[in-house]
Structure 1
Amino acid sequence: MNKLYLLGIIITVIMLGATYLSVGMSKGGLNGDIVNMLAVAGAIALVIITVFVVIKYVRQMQTDTAEGELADESWDNIGEYKNPVPMGWAIMFLGTMVWGMWYWVAGYPVNAYSQIGEYNEDVAAHDKKFESQYASITGDRLVEMGESVFLAECKVCHGIAADGIDGKAANLNVRLEEKTVKAVIENGSNNMLLGTEMPMPDRNGLFNANSGALITDAEINTVAKYVANGFPASDKAGAEVFAGVCSSCHGMDGKGMAYVAPDIHEFTPELVINVLTHGKKGAIGQMPAFDRLNAKQKEAAAAYVISLSKGE
């Protein structure tokens, strides 16, 4: 046997033996962990490939002579042969690409343990347990749960008293403020308040059926006060504008129509849940969606907000 091959075999055995001893003597060994198994497999592959390549090219340098067609270009009179890519290199290159795709998609890290993955699994399991445990809660207990959700998630913007902290967020003690009504009439709305994409047009699409003309600034101010004050019977002018412009979608009582327009007279569970689910852009700014809340928590928050507007 050629001394070079013999030396390669000896080096390979020594390196593989050292790898085995280092893994076998470590605490727990492989322990069935795919990461450790991949690391050891990679180490073995590197040892064998490295020794094989070194032997091949050392042997080639000992025996081969330069041959083939030289390229036309040269650098400092140093030419380059037009040799094809060695088949072994091509196979190794393609094999490495295939292994790399498997490693990232099926091996590691996509298929590996992660703290984020464990956290998400724990949260999903907790939410499932939560939903089954509190699914039947209604009435006062639901409002109490909603208060806890509000204090944990909503008070930062809306304040502990849900008054909007001097205009930094909507005042949830009332259904709508005058500035909010004006902003919606001026700019329209497409906030998924019905859970579907049913936009309300801006002022350029709002006609007063009584006059047959687009809504005016004076009419906007009048109807905004009417809606914000809770549809008072004493406000004849506001009621007249509302009937001519808004009632065709929101109803004469302002309680909305299914699939057409939301209730603007008072909060409803569906309305609050949709705002929490989709977020909302209003006169003050953009409220984000609260994806981290589960369905029961949103229902509870809605019950608490409704209780505030009713003064309970």
Structure 2
Amino acid sequence: MNKTVLAAIIVVIAMLGFTYVAVGMAGGMGGEGDWVNKLAVLGAVVLVIVTSFVNWDGIGEYKNELPFGWAVIFLGLTIWAIWYFLAGYPVNAYSQIGEYNEAVAAHDAKFEAEHANMDEETLKEMGGSIFIVQCAPCHGLQADGIDGKAANLNARLEEKTIKDVINKGSNNQLLGMEMPMPDRNGLMNANTGALVTDAEIDAVAKYVAGGMKGTEGADVFAGTCAACHGADGKGVDMVGPSIAEFNPTLVANVLKHGKKGAIGAMPAFNNLTEAQVKALGAYVTSLSK
């Protein structure tokens, strides 16, 4: 096989791999109706193949000497590009985008200063307004999850969510750091000295979802869950998050890191200011009380 052809094949495979990774990092190929990403990837594939294999009018690598004028132009453009990015625009020149970013940063700083010491009622009021804009499209105006489309925020956890976490484990950084919960193969019931069973998972899921009331499932919780989540389920610092109720810190960590669970994936919301996150935390916490 010709070395040039072999090199082209290698380049095609590498470029397709890079394209796949880039699309994945950018959020995937999207749904079936997301033709924009699909067409972009198809265009990249065609471009790589055409560039690697099509011989334009006999011009090919290793076949013709590069014209001297082309070399001079290429070198000149390279020098100009280095100057442009290091000393020219946009570093030292006016930029509408830069001006806009500066204005937004100044406004955010002013907003943070004005709302640094809000009382609880003001926080909840602001949080309700932010919720309508940022959260209600998925969770609903009543925060009920719109018939299972998203999490019901009027209760801390539902049975299906608890079962999914127990069976699959969790690594949603609800404590603000990497503290993964093992799946069922790593959960031991201290009362029996054995791994949790399906019946025990059903019982403890009903117990936690029911507000930790009654006796059914209480022994399983005490022997399996309390060590990390506390006897009252309100969490243990640096060990496990609260599973009994929402709290502002928990809400802030979900907004910062996003969350995956039985229903699907929630993206991170990094466009909110600290005051807005605090307000949302106060509002969501108040929903389940």
Compute the TM-score of the two structures, normalised by the length of structure 1: 0.68
Partner of 1:196: 177
Q: Which residue of the partner structure matches residue 227 of structure 2?
A: 248
- CA displacement at 1:212 relative to structure 2: 1.1
Shift of 1:288: 0.6
AA aligned to 1:184 is V
1:205 pairs, out of 183, 186, 206, with: 186
Inter-partner Cα distance in structure 2 for 1:90 and 1:190:
54
More displaced 10-residue stretch of structure 1: 92-101 or 124-133: 92-101
1:265 to partner: Cα distance: 0.8
Within a 5 Å distance, the mapping from 1:174-253 to structure 2 comes to 174-232=155-213, 234=214, 236-253=215-232
Question: In structure 2, what residue type is equivalent to 1:231?
Answer: M
Task: Provide the secondary structure at the position in 2 that maps to 1:157.
Answer: helix
Deviation at 1:114, TM superposition (A): 3.6
Check if 1:120 corresponds to 2:101: yes
> Which residue pairs with 2:153 in the alignment?
172
Residue of structure 1 in register with 2:143 after alignment: 162
TM-score scaled by structure 2? Answer: 0.73
Identity within the alignment, %: 65
Q: Separation in 2 of the partners of 1:139 and 1:293? A: 19
Structure 1 residues 98 and 134: CA distance shift in structure 2, 3 A: same
1:257 paired residue among 226, 236, 244: 236
Cα distance in 1 between the residues matched to 2:71 and 2:256: 53
Please give the residue correspondences for 1:3-14 in structure 2 after superposition, counting only pairs within 5 Å: none
Give the equivalent residue in structure 1 for 2:113. 132
SS of 1:107's equivalent?
coil
2:275 to 289, 296, 305: 296
1:286 aligns with 2:282: no
Q: What displacement does 1:282 show? A: 1.1
Match 2:87 to one of 106, 114, 139: 106
* Structure 2 unaligned residues grouped into runs of 5+: 1-64
Distance in 2 separating the partners of 1:110 and 1:129? 26
**Superposed, which structure 2 residues align to 1:11-26 within 5 Å?**
none
**1:151 matched to 2:152:** no
Count residues in correspondence: 224
For residues 127 and 118 of structure 1, the distance between their equivalents in structure 2, rounded to whole angstroms, comes to 14
Q: In structure 2, what residue type is equivalent to 1:203? A: R
**Counterpart secondary structure, 1:255:** coil
**SS of alignment partner, residue 87 of structure 2:** helix
Structure 1 residue identity aligned to 2:131: F
Deviations 1:116-168 (A, max 9, x none): 33322221111101000111112101100100110110000000000000000
Residues 158 and 91 of structure 1: is their aligned pair in 2 closer, same or farther, counting only changes over 3 Å?
closer
What are structure 1's unaligned runs of at least 5 residues?
A: 1-81
Residues 174 and 92 of structure 1: is their aligned pair in 2 closer, same or farther, counting only changes over 3 Å?
closer
Structure 2 CA distance for aligned equivalents of residues 144 and 96 of structure 1 = 57
C-alpha separation between the residues in 2 aligned to 1:92 and 1:284?
57
Q: Deviations over 1:260-284 (max 9, x none)?
A: 0001111111000000111000110
Which amino acid in the other structure matches residue 241 of structure 2?
A: P
1:279-301 Cα distance to aligned partner (Å, 9 max, x none): 00011010010010011101100
Please report how far the alpha carbon of residue 112 of structure 1 lies from its aligned counterpart in structure 2 after TM superposition. 3.8
Question: 1:168/1:92 Cα in 2 relative to 1: closer, same or farther (>3 Å)?
Answer: closer
Shift in CA distance, 169/93, structure 1 to aligned 2, threshold 3 Å: closer
**Alignment deviations for residues 83-115 of structure 1 (CA, whole Å, 9 cap, x no partner):** xx79xx988865543232111332124544343
Q: For residue 248 of structure 1, report the CA deviation from its aligned partner.
A: 1.0
Q: After superposition, what is the alpha-carbon deviation per residue over 1:58-97, rounded to whole angstroms, capped at 9, x for unaligned? A: xxxxxxxxxxxxxxxxxxxxxxxx9xx79xx988865543
